Structure 1
Amino acid sequence: MSDSQALRDSFALVGKSGDEVPRYFYSYLFLIAPEVRPMFPVAMGAQRDRLVAALGRIVAEADDPDRLLPYLRQLGRDHRKFQVVAQHYEAVGQALLATLAYFLGEAWTPELQHGWTEAYTLVARTMVEAAEDDARVNPPWWNGEVVQIEPRGFDLAVITLRLDRPMAYRAGQSVMVETPTLPSTWRSFTPANATRADGIVEFHVRAVDGGLVSPALVYGLRRGDVLRLGAPVGGRLTLQASGGRDLVLIAGGTGLAPMRALVEEIAWRGPARGVDLFVGARDARGLYDQQVLRQLAEANPWLRVTPLVGTDAGTVDNRSLAGPVLRAAHWHGRSFYVCGSPSMVSATVRDLAGAGVSHDLLHFEEDAR
């Protein structure tokens, strides 16, 4: 992108106006293209945060096409579930330039306008081309019929869907889910199973206090209901990142879901490797999937499952699990995967790095909430 430093500097200047920036952007967009309003949720707070995060990443990686272009292609594929088409990108570009001009004022020069126009043109073209390529092989979304709901506590359920067509994803990837009671409101979940030819997908869902989608799924979903699922995204927790090494998997709460999918993928497709899975919980009731994990360990001698409960786990939501893990597992040269609450993941990764685990062996993601 031309003069990417100028883009970063101007974006940083605009960012000083905080939440007013995405509010102005969406107000302008809905004014000039009212037909796109139904594509967005009624409550726009999370959507505004996603916009700022996406723009921030784009300008930060403007000089790194090897990272930026795959991200843009993923965005293009993922936006198909909103029924975004090529002409919508023109309105978005117009709203973006108007927003930048408004907040930059006299600093909005013809040179800067040219730079942002050129940058957005590249972004839009990459996303549109990726969406068109994806449309040749995949639907814009998958329909998943609820075939089973298993309460595993007052606020947690294991939900099994049967998709209308198989979805090819790698264990550790996530998908966006929309429930019929909350149209245009999507939330990210990670399947707890490896991809299956019969289209079965299992989700572990905890109802988040103050959330929208997760309580609707845990408390309001019924057998026979149909959910929409977006295209699989992400790659931080996939096995491709581990280079065939033995693994140490660390899960807190429903962060267990991607770890179980990883174990299934190894069991079904290999390559063979040793796996230590640590499952943190506040108390024994938090070990909601122990029966399945026990069966997996019995069937696969390379898998060892260790629960971390109570004092062993500290307070799982906000404490590091690195201590008991490093004491219990031979970890030198192994790849570490961590998923759970943001504070647990942050503390655990920090302590693993402090103990000498190299950065390239640390793979982590916060459990979607």
Structure 2
Amino acid sequence: PQPTPETWPAAPPQPAAEAGAGQDAPPFAAPPQPTPETWPAAAPQPVREAGPGAPAEPRESAASPDARLVRRTLREIGPVADKVTAYFYALLFTRHPELRGLFPAAMDTQRDRLLKALLTAAEQMDDAAVLTEYLQHLGRGHRKYGTEPAHYPAVGEALIGALTRYAAASWDEETERAWVRTYTTISQIMIDAAAEDERRAPAWWHGEVVSHELRTPDIAVVTVRPDQPYPFLAGQYTSLETPWWPRVWRHYSFASAPRPDGLLTFHVKAVPAGWVSNALVHHARPGDVLRLGPPAGSMTVDHTTDNGLLCLGGGTGIAPIKALVEDVAERGTRRPVEVFYGARTDHDLYDIDTMLRLQQSHPWLEVRAIIDRSTQLPDLVREYGPWNEYDAYLSGPPGMIRRGVDALRGVGVPSERIRHDALDELAAAAG
């Protein structure tokens, strides 16, 4: 998640000044702006539930009126997403230049965050539980960017302005009111989640680098000491900001279960043009201070069951898998754990020695290193098993996760027992 583009207004915006051109957009005339009368005094009525992920058309008959109007707008602006995003930032920074400091200095890492978040929220509009969970996560995560309730109206104002311009064919007063009601509800969920989180956790932690081990020319194991207790669960991830690229945050999984000494370890691979990853691999040294966002992620062990664990880790995706193994070991149970560690070359198996030592210490653990340039890791897993009595955990490149989910479903593993995080978004932000 990136700072503030996923946020929406919590209150009526003030009259705006003339819009101007941004660095990434040509000059535009200011579009008609919503009047205060269009902003609701209360949140919209609860919507009927509909399962997420289905095509929009079959869901329309069961969707709420607001959801139908919002989805209609999103379908119209889809082909011009880049223009909508550029215009949104032009409006936001021209009318509210004080907000520019919340964003990275270079906006090329920021381009599609807004529309992606909008599409995600719109797709879940009629599933109140899923939408609320998603927005609460955003609200908590945005604290580290310095987002405050007073920022929401400005962002919503710019967003409505961009939609007014680029959804001209479907835009009318009824559609505007639907969007405003939706934003008001969405923003309030985020504001409430941030306020609740503020009572129990800081917006960010400082972490001093205490160890930096270069395992390969482009992979480093980085260990940091947080300045105050940092609670997390094995299998979760966090976001990191380096002193070299202020306001640029990237996600990394914890490479161990919580430790008595409180240290946190991450496996980082430097990717081409990756600002944060290259800084962490090639520039970070003991004594440097990073900032850490709150923990997130649901790829954690269910300790209420004795099911075995089937773990697929590709590349640095082995980091949270290692943490899961340590978590099971610390519980003292003897649940079978099967780890498939995938890599394209021997060189890429940078943590195989650690995994084999864990296997020697725990007879219930089986580690298989899979090295094959032509065959995909999920396809090889089909040759083993059966896996119908296992909970599956997948971590690695998004393509591997997608293929892994399909492969595991194909051999009878129920979808509810296949665990991974939304790594498409994480991978988009990797670097």
CA distance in 2, matches of 1:272, 1:64: 38
- Of 63, 69, 79, which residue of structure 2 is paired with 1:6? 69
Q: Which residue is equivalent to 2:111? A: 48
Q: Does residue 296 in structure 1 map to residue 352 in structure 2?
A: no
CA distance in 2, matches of 1:266, 1:223: 31
Per the alignment, in what secondary structure is the counterpart of residue 110 of structure 2?
Answer: helix
CA distance in 2, matches of 1:152, 1:101: 51
Q: Which residue is equivalent to 1:194? A: 257
Aligned pairs (5 A) from 1:79-118: 79-105=142-168, 107-118=170-181
CA distance in 2, matches of 1:144, 1:219: 18
CA distance in 2, matches of 1:253, 1:106: 46
What is the letter of the counterpart of residue 269 of structure 1? Answer: R
Aligned-pair distance for 1:345? 2.5
CA distance in 2, matches of 1:14, 1:33: 24
Change in 2 beyond 3 A, CA 1:125/1:244: farther
CA distance in 2, matches of 1:231, 1:246: 29
Aligned pairs (5 A) from 1:253-264: 253-264=315-326
Q: Which residue is equivalent to 1:249? A: 311
Q: Which residue is equivalent to 2:234? A: 171
- Of 381, 391, 398, which residue of structure 2 is paired with 1:342? 398
Q: What CA RMSD, in Å, does the superposition of the two structures yield over aligned residues?
A: 1.9
Aligned-pair distance for 1:270? 6.0
Aligned-pair distance for 1:333? 2.1
CA distance in 1, matches of 2:170, 2:416: 41
CA distance in 1, matches of 2:332, 2:248: 36
CA distance in 2, matches of 1:327, 1:242: 29
Deviations 1:17-36 (A, max 9, x none): 12111111111111122111
Per the alignment, in what secondary structure is the counterpart of residue 16 of structure 1?
Answer: helix
Q: Does residue 141 in structure 1 map to residue 204 in structure 2?
A: yes
Aligned-pair distance for 1:197? 4.6
Assess if the C-alpha contact under 8 Å between 1:142 and 1:163 holds in 2. Answer: yes
Q: Structure 2 length as normaliser, TM-score?
A: 0.80
Deviations 1:148-186 (A, max 9, x none): 001111110000011111221222221111000000111
Per the alignment, in what secondary structure is the counterpart of residue 68 of structure 1?
Answer: helix
Aligned-pair distance for 1:70? 1.0
Per the alignment, in what secondary structure is the counterpart of residue 76 of structure 1?
Answer: helix
What is the letter of the counterpart of residue 98 of structure 1? Answer: G
Aligned-pair distance for 1:286? 1.8
Assess if the C-alpha contact under 8 Å between 1:273 and 1:302 holds in 2. Answer: yes
Q: Does residue 274 in structure 1 map to residue 336 in structure 2?
A: yes
CA distance in 2, matches of 1:270, 1:138: 30
Q: Which residue is equivalent to 2:388? A: 332
- Of 77, 81, 86, which residue of structure 2 is paired with 1:18? 81
- Of 403, 417, 424, which residue of structure 2 is paired with 1:361? 417
Assess if the C-alpha contact under 8 Å between 1:205 and 1:254 holds in 2. Answer: yes
Assess if the C-alpha contact under 8 Å between 2:255 and 2:322 holds in 1. Answer: yes
Stretches (4+) displaced over 4 A: 241-244
CA distance in 2, matches of 1:343, 1:106: 36
Structure 2 spans left out of the alignment, 5+ residues: 1-43, 45-64
User: How many positions carry a matched residue from both structures?
Assistant: 362
Assess if the C-alpha contact under 8 Å between 1:320 and 1:348 holds in 2. Answer: no
Q: Which residue is equivalent to 2:6? A: none
Assess if the C-alpha contact under 8 Å between 1:207 and 1:215 holds in 2. Answer: yes
What is the letter of the counterpart of residue 314 of structure 1? Answer: R
Structure 1 spans left out of the alignment, 5+ residues: none
CA distance in 2, matches of 1:197, 1:114: 53
CA distance in 1, matches of 2:130, 2:99: 29
CA distance in 1, matches of 2:293, 2:402: 28
Aligned-pair distance for 1:353? 2.6
Q: Report the structure number with the largest CA radius of gyration.
A: 2
Q: Which residue is equivalent to 2:22? A: none
Per the alignment, in what secondary structure is the counterpart of residue 48 of structure 1?
Answer: coil
Among the aligned pairs, what percent are the same residue? 40
More helix by share: 1
Change in 2 beyond 3 A, CA 1:107/1:332: closer
